[in-house]
Amino acid sequence: MENVMQKLDYQPSSLSEYELEHPLQVITDFFDNYPIHEIRDKIWQLYKGWVNNSADFAEGEENAGMLFLYTQLIDFLNASYVYAEKKKVEA
């Protein structure tokens, strides 16, 4: 676990010791609290807000980077959801 924390350049966070040892529980709780379609919409709203507020100063490369982050975040979200749901069935 220490090596993982070093790779993360770990700073104290709100995760409890239990959550650090059982990250799947954090993921499961997240999806239990927020339906996936609502999460996707919220992430889209965050992205749109960034685009609208950064139009005057963001460069094309930065805009492309944010769009790439958005698409990767949605892919990560979907994969995490599938993983958590599969683990529920296996349990």
**66 lies in a domain?**
yes
Distance CA(9)–CA(46), nearest Å, equals: 26
Residue 64 in any domain: the answer is yes
Average pLDDT over residues 65-80: 94
Better pLDDT: 75 or 60: 75
Contact predicate 27/84, CB 8 Å: yes
Determine the Cα–Cα distance for residues 51 and 35; give it in Å rounded to an integer: 25
Per cent of the chain over pLDDT 90 is: 55
Q: How many structural domains comprise the chain?
A: 1
Q: Read off the tokens for 79.
A: 């994969």
pTM, 2 dp:
0.78
Q: Is the pLDDT of residue 12 over 70?
A: no
**Average pLDDT of the chain, as a whole number:** 88
Q: In this structure, is residue 57 part of a structural domain?
A: yes
Can you give the residue range of the structural domain that contains 76? 22-90
- Say whether pLDDT at 71 is over 90: yes
